[in-house]
Structure 1
Amino acid sequence: MAGKPVRVLVVDDSALIRKLMTEILDADPGIEVVGTASDPFIARDRIKQLSPDVLTLDVEMPRMDGLTFLSNLMRLRPIPVVMVSTLTVAGAQVTLDALALGAVDFVAKPQLDVARGLGDYAALLIAKVKQAAHARVACRRPSPPAPIGEYTGPVAYRTTDRLIAIGASAGGTEAIREVLAHMPADAPATVITQHIPGAFSGPFAERLNKHSRMTVLEAREDQPLLVGHAYVAPGGRHLKVVRSGARWHAQLSDEDPVRGHRPSVDVLFESVARHAGANASAALLTGMGDDGARGLLGLRKAGAHTFAQDKATSVVWGMPGAAVALGAAEEVLPLEHIANRLLAAGSNA
């Protein structure tokens, strides 16, 4: 295999979890687990000794909680971190805090008593660790509660005929927060697919709502899509858009995952292309893999205005990079410019 293996330090207070994750990661020839640590103090010393490329970090840690350790780490020695989270509402809140502090991505804590499905979990963990090794990491401070920025362009976009669609994955929870923070209170109805588990999408929508002038909700079946509102796909369900009379409506689906994802950005974008076409503008943000790239191309062919986040501001330039390679994006933009371009594109349609 070309290149050196990704050097990983596994940090978890459970000896069984450390053993299991080490076995999973070491089974891949492109990864080498160089050490483990049972708490942040040991981890700090191991980082100095071993200089790992990637850290897997348990959210709940003894002697020093995972968030405090992560905050110190990103301030003093930024390194790609994949959080290991419990799939609960409480776990979601802590994990979202960790992503705001600079963690690259997260995976669920493996279930020690469930052998079935471990193969899928192993594949996901390996993929996320490998991708994290190439992620752009920098210190991130917790975002202020008030939204920042303000759209100052034309106001002709303020109509129920306009629709905005956004897709993201790794790094996307913070990228979406920043885009929505720049949206005015009467922005066009906005639909969002972020790769996220079921327990996380509700808390994620609530967090976005606190940082946006728009009203941000977890999407419900047959919900009218209103001006000034943003709708997040529920974890584990596809979100589609349909036209019903004079309004857009949300449609949820339990159909099979697409390219390994449910919700899938491609599913959302393809529905927007089909039912909104040139009345839409869309952005594909940071994320691992290529979900959304084909959908963005379909949107562009349907006459929609399409944008991809640039490599310099993406945590992982997988999804937007794939869209750029397909010629799906009209423009490739830094994250801070995407909200204004989404809105301005709508005003000129």
Structure 2
Amino acid sequence: MGGPVGGRTRDPVRVLIVEDSTVVRQLLAHIVAQDPRLALAGAVASAEEALRDLRRIRPDVISMDIRLPGMDGLEATRRIMAEQPTPIVVVSDAVADSSLRISMNALRVGALSVVEKPIGFSSRNYAAVAETICTQLFIMSQVPVIRRRPIGQAEPAARPVTESAAMPQRHPSILGMAASTGGPPALARILGSLPADFPVPVLLVQHMGAPFMEGFASWLDGIVPMTVRIAPEGERPLPGHVYVAPGDRHLVLSPAGTLRLLDEAPVGGQRPSANLLFQSLARVAGPAAAGVLLTGMGEDGAQGLTELRRAGGFTVAEHESTAVVYGMPAAAVRMGGVSVSLPLEMVASRLLRLVPAGAVRELRP
């Protein structure tokens, strides 16, 4: 069943499916059963059943529907993270805006990722959707999750970080940000602490399924002061705006200082690629750019952030004490690409020191 890990055989990952539609629940059970990495631990039709059976089933990962009878998937995620923390993958209808907003908020209370809900065996992209679901369930089952305190109780403060990185000699004129697993709530927290008139544009890469990117940008736009939109081809980025890489296209800054969207092959398995974004900032802006690399699996963004720092840009990585997954920031630290590592709650204040109001001129490549 499972593959060898360190000389032993790994047991399949136990999956609990929470889905009120009988048809979709059976389809998800079939998808899980076909993957040798996974084993079906249970399939229930409501959040109440999931909470009742959680301690008995003890799954390694949960596939969570959002629209459920009675308690919805958002409240279920909040309860699970408070009572018995378990990795959760939200399975959402990508087309329904209201469902997607609830899904994004589920990420804020502890869910790890959002994937597209399968339609049926005959749908054109069934195989790709099924593979994505299985891969996300398998990968997220390995993420250590922590108990979330109920709303109204303060989270314990992150361990203070001692750092002595000098501030750059010039104020950046453009900022790049990138994240993967755990990214949406981290980005919401940082961008939510920046003013609407933040004096530089922000270019953003978030690893997420292509069908969700429009909804993700819309969700972010509704909860942070700055204007958030999907990056348009050929436009010159404006201060106070966040430009999100669209689904399945790379976002880079062109030599002319405009936004470019590329259909080139994935880089390190990722499209959009954080490496390509940071590398373009290094080439075009150099010391007039800053980069922030947040939580995520793998190493995307680490090489690009390193090149940006070598070009004179100021670079920030999320500290291990707050990262949901410390893979991408850790890789950047190992490569020497980080000016400073900061816990999540300290990133926005550092950015406000980097680019104080009225201090920045227009980017001139």
TM-score, scaled relative to structure 1 = 0.84
Separation (CA, whole Å) in 2 of partners of 1:311 and 1:5:
28
Matched-pair contact (CA < 8 Å) for 1:285–1:309: yes
Alignment-derived partner of residue 314 in structure 2: 305
Matched-pair contact (CA < 8 Å) for 1:100–1:141: no
Alignment-derived partner of residue 238 in structure 1: 250
Q: Read off the aligned partner of 1:95 and give its amino acid letter.
A: S
Matched-pair contact (CA < 8 Å) for 1:73–1:79: yes
- The alignment status of 1:100 with 2:100, answered yes or no, reads no
Q: Find the residue that maps to 2:32 and give its secondary structure.
A: helix
Q: Find the residue that maps to 1:323 and give its secondary structure.
A: helix
Alignment-derived partner of residue 93 in structure 2: 86
* Unaligned runs of at least 5 residues, structure 1: 144-153
Give the Å deviation of 1:254. Answer: 2.5
Alignment-derived partner of residue 134 in structure 2: 126
Cα RMSD over matched residues? 3.0
Q: Find the residue that maps to 1:225 and give its secondary structure.
A: coil
Q: Find the residue that maps to 1:327 and give its secondary structure.
A: coil
Q: Find the residue that maps to 1:183 and give its secondary structure.
A: coil
Alignment-derived partner of residue 173 in structure 1: 184
- The alignment status of 1:259 with 2:271, answered yes or no, reads no
Give the Å deviation of 1:93. Answer: 1.6
Matched-pair contact (CA < 8 Å) for 2:12–2:39: yes
Q: Find the residue that maps to 2:71 and give its secondary structure.
A: coil
Separation (CA, whole Å) in 1 of partners of 2:30 and 2:334:
36
2:235 to 223, 233, 236: 223
Separation (CA, whole Å) in 2 of partners of 1:178 and 1:187:
18
Separation (CA, whole Å) in 2 of partners of 1:33 and 1:206:
34
After superposing the two structures, state which structure 1 stretch, 165-174 or 118-127, moved more. 118-127
CA pair 317-101 structure 1, distance change in 2 beyond 3 A: same
Matched-pair contact (CA < 8 Å) for 2:181–2:297: yes
Separation (CA, whole Å) in 2 of partners of 1:260 and 1:141:
37
Alignment-derived partner of residue 72 in structure 1: 79
CA pair 157-299 structure 1, distance change in 2 beyond 3 A: closer
Q: Find the residue that maps to 1:268 and give its secondary structure.
A: helix
Q: Read off the aligned partner of 1:337 and give its amino acid letter.
A: M
Alignment-derived partner of residue 350 in structure 2: 341
CA deviations 1:45-87 (Å, max 9, x no partner) are: 2212111121111122234322232233233333221000112
Q: Read off the aligned partner of 1:42 and give its amino acid letter.
A: E
Give the Å deviation of 1:345. Answer: 4.5
Q: Read off the aligned partner of 1:209 and give its amino acid letter.
A: D
Separation (CA, whole Å) in 2 of partners of 1:129 and 1:318:
18
Give the Å deviation of 1:344. Answer: 3.6
Give the Å deviation of 1:243. Answer: 4.0
CA pair 318-128 structure 1, distance change in 2 beyond 3 A: farther
Separation (CA, whole Å) in 1 of partners of 2:150 and 2:236:
35
Separation (CA, whole Å) in 1 of partners of 2:233 and 2:253:
10
- The alignment status of 1:21 with 2:32, answered yes or no, reads no
Q: Percent identity?
A: 36
CA deviations 1:193-248 (Å, max 9, x no partner) are: 1123444333333333343333322211122212222211122322111243xxx3
CA deviations 1:276-296 (Å, max 9, x no partner) are: 112111111112332212221
Moved over 6 A (4+): 140-143
* Unaligned runs of at least 5 residues, structure 2: 153-166, 361-365
CA pair 64-293 structure 1, distance change in 2 beyond 3 A: same
Matched-pair contact (CA < 8 Å) for 1:198–1:234: yes
Matched-pair contact (CA < 8 Å) for 2:82–2:150: no
Matched-pair contact (CA < 8 Å) for 1:198–1:236: yes
Give the Å deviation of 1:105. Answer: 0.8
- The alignment status of 1:34 with 2:45, answered yes or no, reads no
CA deviations 1:237-287 (Å, max 9, x no partner) are: 22111243xxx3211223333333322212211211221112111111112
Alignment-derived partner of residue 67 in structure 2: 60
- The alignment status of 1:288 with 2:297, answered yes or no, reads yes
Matched-pair contact (CA < 8 Å) for 1:101–1:140: no
Matched-pair contact (CA < 8 Å) for 2:290–2:315: yes
